[in-house]
Amino acid sequence: MPYDSSKLLDATNLAILRELQQDARLSYSELSRRVGLSVPAVTERVRRLEDAGIIEGYGVRLNFEALGYGITALIELSAPPSRYPQVLAFCEQTPEIRESYFVTGDSSYVVRVVARSVQHLQEIIQRLGTFGNTRTSVVLSSPIIKTSFDLEGLKR
């Protein structure tokens, strides 16, 4: 339920979010030690951040390379609006497609995919190609993937 209530972003809650970004499996007792409040107070604050929709959930950061998915690519797809539902359905049922963005500019969709080999990537490109023109950029390296966001700018 993302309705703001900007008071939720006081210095203590920003500290809580900072800690959870670095290690979401921190115990409440350790978290409360770090932010200087009692355990029930911190537990309640986290619950409210979840209820407000600021915290959407907790995830594990997986190393796709170690899982055998050594290739990442960004694929731009230009497709007529009439095919959007089909494109969406395809993206949803294809696990290799990690995210899709509907963007301004000459390409309608940009998707990020992971693949086990160039053959595997080619398959995905060909399937996307049935919806429209594609333009693929293979990722050579990902110098920056930030796992936490500096929330300092949110202080009022």
Report, in Å, the least distance between residue 110 CB and DNA: 39
Q: Per CB under 8 A, does 148 bind a copy of itself?
A: yes
Gap between the Cα atoms of 100 and 84, Å rounded: 12
Report, in Å, the least distance between residue 9 CB and a copy of itself: 7
Burial of 57 (0-12, 13-18, 19+ CB in 10 A): exposed
Task: Give 19 or 30: the residue with its C-beta nearer to DNA.
Answer: 30
Q: Which two tokens stand for residue 31?
A: 């978290």
Binding string, residues 49-88; x marks residues near DNA by CB under 7 A: ----------------------------------------
C-alpha distances in angstroms, 4 versus 19, 43, 44? Answer: 21, 19, 17
Report, in Å, the least distance between residue 148 CB and a copy of itself: 7
Q: What element of type H or E holds 44?
A: helix 39-51
What residue ranges bind DNA (CB under 7 A)?
12, 27-30, 37-41, 43-45
